[in-house]
Amino acid sequence: MSRIAQFFDLDYSRRKPWQLDWNHAKECLGADMVKKEKFPPRPRALAARREAAAAITDRLAEIYPDSHCALDFTNGFELLVATVLSAQTTDARVNSVTPELFAAYPDPFAMAAARGEDLEEILHPLGFFRSKARSVHGLAVGLIEQFDAEVPGTLEELVTLPGVGRKTANVVLGNWFGKPGITVDTHVGRLSRRWGWTRETAPVKAELEIAKILPPEIWTITCHRTIDHGRAICHSRKPECERCPLADLCPSFPLN
């Protein structure tokens, strides 16, 4: 798999050219942002940017004290599988199929031995169910062959698994292993640019820039809070700046 496909959690090698999901790829790249929004002004000095970011993260903590990973899981394997399944669909939809999936296939050995059509039937409500079935099956095989069926606890190891990119790896690191991880999904990428934390539209570059701005101990929780704010108020197309509790801190205010 190419590095770009890996970063986007897209296993292009398993798809025919006409099956590429360009909308998802554009979303990962933040192409909508590039076309429609200008980057807000931001301090040149890193220290000043950190100070401005701290004000926003403190406020986010007040607004969203209960933010957490929206995927349901009880162990690292379940989180890894659920995260892979969450590409191109909602966390709620993933949560609607994973109880049946994990009841039938509770560990990598059971999932690796599953019949493709049985996996496809369970994953059908998610869309792209054939490729998702292949992905989780390949992931289970990879876990067995490479890591004795244990979910590895480092970014370097996780991204060697089939279908696991940096974004998925950071979700697992942050939410199962308790290690700092920045997950640049569409919300985190968009809001980080609106807050002046980064001007990068490529998720990996954005992740590295955000890592310089925020202290590692709040990486994971800040991503959850940012996702919650993106879903609730700072929407992609019509951000509700007039009712936003971050308006006095946001360099993009007013966006419309």
Any idea which residues carry the catalytic annotation?
167, 185
Minimum distance of ligand SF4 from residue 221's CB (angstroms): 17
58 part of the interface to ligand SF4, by CB under 6 A: no
108 part of the interface to ligand SF4, by CB under 6 A: no
Query: What type of residue is 84?
Result: V
How far apart, in whole angstroms, are the C-alpha atoms of residue 80 and residue 142? 12
- Alpha carbon 8 to chain centroid, angstroms: 9
Mask: binding to ligand SF4, 208-237, rule CB under 6 A, as x and -? Answer: -------------------------xx---
C-beta separation of 5 from 13 below 8 A: yes
Size of the residue set binding ligand SF4 (CB under 6 A): 13
253 part of the interface to ligand SF4, by CB under 6 A: yes
Q: Which of 134, 193, 194, 225 binds ligand SF4 (CB under 6 A)?
A: 194
Would you say 241 is a known binding-site residue? Answer: yes
**C-alpha Rg value of the chain to the nearest Å:** 19
155 part of the interface to ligand SF4, by CB under 6 A: no
How far apart, in whole angstroms, are the C-alpha atoms of residue 93 and residue 98? 9
229 by DSSP, 3-state: which?
helix
Nearest to 67 by CA among 225, 247, 241: 225
C-beta separation of 169 from 181 below 8 A: yes
184 part of the interface to ligand SF4, by CB under 6 A: no
| Footprint on this chain of ligand SF4 (rule: CB under 6 A) | 194, 233-234, 239-241, 244, 246-247, 250, 252-253, 255
Give the residue numbers of the binding site for [4Fe-4S] cluster.
Answer: 234, 241, 244, 250
